[in-house]
Structure 1
Amino acid sequence: MMKELENMIYTVHKEHLIQLAKKYGTPLYVYDSFKIKKQYIKMIKAFSGIKNIIINYACKANTNLNILKFLQKLGSGLDTVSIQEVELGLKAGFHPKKIIFTPNCVSIQEVKKAVNLGVRINLDNLSVLEQFGECYPDYSIGIRINPHIMAGGNYKISVGHIDSKFGISYYQIPHMKRILKNTGLKIEGLHMHTGSDISDIKSFLEGAKILFKTAIDFPNIDYIDFGSGFKVPYTKNDIKTDLTSLSKEITEKFKDFCTSYGHQITLIFEPGKFLVSESGYFLVSVNVIKHTTSTVFAGVDSGFNHFIRPMFYDAYHYIENISNPNGRFRFYTVVGYICESDTFGFNRKITEIREGDILCLKNAGAYCFSMSSNYNSRYRPSEIMILNGKDFIIRKRETMQDILRNIVEIDI
């Protein structure tokens, strides 16, 4: 089954997406479970040379409960960054020990809630580490190290450099050791994550070198967690992380480390975008075509309140007119209906767009709905999952009742 999935060519037909847009309305997120499964198996297969390997889905990419349940059924663990994500993971059926909680800049109170839920914990702050050691000296934890590596698609998604708020600097290891000695706290693992959309495998290998060097000073750890950051292609010829070369290098170096370390430990990866990004399609309807002196705008029934990555990260998402695929190509700037600068794609070559057409934005499975909002008091869209060839609604479209749910009216 694994080999069969690896060799299959994955496609979602435009006609099917148009049918879904008509059936459920737009804007609409569509996720294909087959692609998620294929990506998960690809990851497992790539590192099959390592005896103890765990894949933890970084659920901040997409926290829909049904996607969590699907990955849990595949055998995945879960990477979480908030106590709410921990609770979602438990509701999805993950065993507490298959959930790792790696928060940043949270209070000790939130960390205490994670202890009460029995999940594994990575800490990345010396102050919280000291407080934790005083409260729970017998609760083994992991430590997130900042390796001082600049990696990622751009500065906003680079989180392992010297000025990052994430992780304990590896120059602060002596301070960390002193806290461990003073509190008696035990370390069960070391963690690192340097960024997202990393195409150069040298960044991963440089980080591995630092983690292996650090781990030698901690003789009783159970795991090393490399985080993730694998780049997925956003266009047909886009570069991506060379998983084959990376896995070969990491497998060899990890085996050498375990030999010198004296016993086998577990290697953990935490892919989010790699698992779910390419499974997602965002469907929008064209409200208006607007000509100015220099630009042709295609205005759609959505905005950065639903799909913020282009505005927030300058991220590129391929845009296709699936309802007029054979039209002649023209150049459009695709914009939303939010009362701000709100651009999905600037000066894109797209087949002729007419009012009422359905546009599809690709790579919409990660960091899209999960970062959506009700800005301009707009409703958040529906989410659909394709499972075993059938489509299921996995999140209903919001209504005014949802907007007003937590409002408390007072007499004015």
Structure 2
Amino acid sequence: MSQHLSNGYLAQLATEFGTPLYVYHAEKIKEQYAKLTTAFRNSNTVFFYACKALTNINILKYICSIGANVDCSSINEVKLALHAGFPSSRILYTSNGIAFSEIEEAVELGVIINVDSLSNLEKFGVKYGHSYPVGLRLRPNIMAGGNLKISTGHDKSKFGIPVDQIDRILELVSKYNIRISDLHIHTGSEIKDVEVFVKGIEVLFGLIPHFKHLEFIDLGGGFKVPYKDGDVSTDIDLLAEKVNESFAEHAIPGGKPLQVWFEPGKFLVSECGYLITQVNVMKETASTTFVSVNSGFNHLIRPMFYDSYHHIVNISNPEGAEKKYAVVGNICETDTFAWDRPLNEVREGDFLAFYNAGAYGFEMSSNFNSRYKPAEVLVLDGKAHLIRKRDQFEDLLRNQIEVL
């Protein structure tokens, strides 16, 4: 049964903890993880939570407790994962255009590492040779994802080593006797068509015979989650079926079974999260009625950054007559959350809840306009826990050095 928090409970949390407020429902994360493990129960598949979506230490601890591994995009995310209790063997660090010193630090911490450039692959070979296994992030030249901003596998993407540079890769691997343990691709986010993953597998199977120490195949993440009624999400059961079929159709050199990895981020935490705001001002104009809330793209940038849709509910007046509104923020920039959006009648002081706010919501927030970042609450086993305090004025001055 799908896990959702009721309007009444969300309104209660808004009153108790104040707004703007991020709320995360732990059991929804567990439900999403179960969808993955159930679908792939008959295959050798491991899931790494792409923690760039949401790194609150309590979320990381909870995800560790339900059995998922963790995928990190920076050395600091690696350190957060270790702090949360993940053993180094369950932490994957996929670098992207970073200084080699970060890779050296990751080796010292003992985590799994992917490199994404010929430059860092050569530096890795010079320093570590065969002594430490490493993975390759490859660019498969496949266009996928909801839009260009979240597509990462096409032929103009900065991510990964282009597969057409395989000869140069093999030269470096041979020259420095580098032990390549996994091949990694990630084509983008919001992927609805599971055939995208099949295409990725086809690319990788053309390369697998070149790497005799290979243990893992990493197909990245990008699973689509529904944002509104009628949205099609990634069919996880069909994906599992297609992946199993693809591996059954390809002989692995030497007969050694390869473990399959996926890196779901948004899929695990998007639907667990809500951003609750309060209506400051109603403004009637000739063209529309503006609903100005006590938040903006300083707290939820996705609508302005990605043109993303977030379902919005008036949790203070859920039975009110439906009208159309423009929902906007309170910062000194254009920060429109929704235009011409049907909502139950909105009044000043009402609480509005934004759904699908768990991924890249708080994580991308800022103190723009010198406004405070929101508090965060985790609902676990029916009990609400404050897991981050709301900013105070002192937080705006933290790390500043007054010299005048």
1:386 is matched with which residue: 370, 379, 382? 379
Aligned to 1:71: 63
Aligned residues: 403
Give the equivalent residue in structure 2 for 1:59. 51
Give the unaligned 5+ runs of structure 2: none
For residues 117-168 of structure 1, the C-alpha deviation after alignment (integer angstroms, 9 at most, x for no partner) is 1111000100111111111111110001100011000000000000000011
- Contact 2:35/2:236 (8 A) holds in 1: no
Amino acid at match of 2:94: T
Q: Could you tell me how far apart the structure 1 residues matched to 2:363 and 2:294 are?
A: 19
Partner SS for 2:166: helix
**For residues 144 and 211 of structure 1, what CA distance do their matches in structure 2 show?**
11
Aligned to 2:185: 192
Which residue is equivalent to 1:355? 348
In structure 1, C-alpha distance between the alignment counterparts of 2:4 and 2:299, rounded to whole Å: 24
Partners of 1:341 and 1:259 in 2: CA distance: 54
Report the AA paired with residue 74 of structure 1. Answer: I
Do the aligned residues in 2 keep the contact of 1:216 with 1:261 (CA within 8 Å)?
Answer: no
**Secondary structure in 2 matching 1:216:** helix
Partner of residue 108 from structure 1, selected from 81, 84, 100 = 100
Partner of 1:36: 29
- The corresponding residue for 2:165 is 172
Runs of 4+ in structure 1 displaced over 4 angstroms? 258-261
Q: Determine if contact 1:235/1:318 at 8 Å carries over to the other structure.
A: yes
Q: Which amino acid letter does the alignment assign opposite residue 130 of structure 1? A: E
TM-score (norm 2): 0.98
Cα 1:221–1:259 shift into 2, 3 Å: closer
**Which residue of structure 1 lines up, in the alignment, with residue 73 of structure 2?**
81
Mapping 1:11-410, distance limit 5 Å? 11-50=4-43, 52-137=44-129, 138-257=131-250, 259=252, 262-410=255-403
Structure 1 residues 271-298: Cα deviation after superposition (integer angstroms, max 9, x where no partner): 0000010000110000000112211100
In structure 2, distance between residues paired with 1:120 and 1:257? 26
Offset at residue 255 of structure 1 (A)? 3.6
Counterpart of 1:15, as a letter, is G
1:261, CA displacement in angstroms? 5.1
| Cα offset, 1:254, TM superposition | 2.2
Counterparts of 2:229 and 2:384, CA distance in 1: 26
SS state at 2:271 partner: helix
SS of the equivalent of 2:391 reads coil
Q: CA deviation at 1:259?
A: 5.0
TM superposition shift of 1:24: 0.1
Whole-Å separation in 2 of the counterparts to 1:67 and 1:178: 42
Q: How far does residue 176 in structure 1 lie from its aligned partner after superposition?
A: 0.5
The letter of the residue matching 2:56 is N
- State the 1:338 CA deviation: 1.0
Over the matched positions of the two proteins, sequence identity in percent amounts to 50
TM-score by length of 1: 0.96
Write the distance in 2 (CA, Å) between the matches of 1:301 and 1:53: 43
* Deviation for aligned residue 1:244: 1.5
Equivalent pair of 1:258/1:264 in contact (CA under 8 Å): no
Displacement of 1:181 in angstroms is 1.1
Q: 2:204 is aligned with what amino acid? A: L
> Residues 31-50 of structure 1: CA distance to partner in whole angstroms, max 9, x if unpaired?
00010001101101111121
1:363-391 deviations in whole A, cap 9, x for unaligned?
01101110001100111001100101100
Deviation at 1:11, TM superposition (A): 2.7
Residues of 1 paired with 2:16 and 2:251: CA distance?
Answer: 54
Task: State the distance in 2 between where 1:312 and 1:212 align.
Answer: 36
Q: Output the CA distance in 2 between the equivalents of 1:9 and 1:201.
A: 23
- Distance in 1 (CA, whole Å) between partners of 2:385 and 2:346 is 29
Shift of 1:253: 1.4
The code of the aligned residue for 2:70 comes to L
Name the SS of the counterpart of 2:207 in structure 1: helix
Distance 1:140 1:245 in 2: 32
Cα separation, 1, equivalents of 2:337 and 2:364: 15
Q: Contact 1:258–1:265 (CA<8 Å) still a contact in 2?
A: no
Q: Secondary structure at the match of 1:278?
A: coil
Q: CA RMSD in A?
A: 1.0
Separation (CA, whole Å) in 2 of partners of 1:326 and 1:213: 57
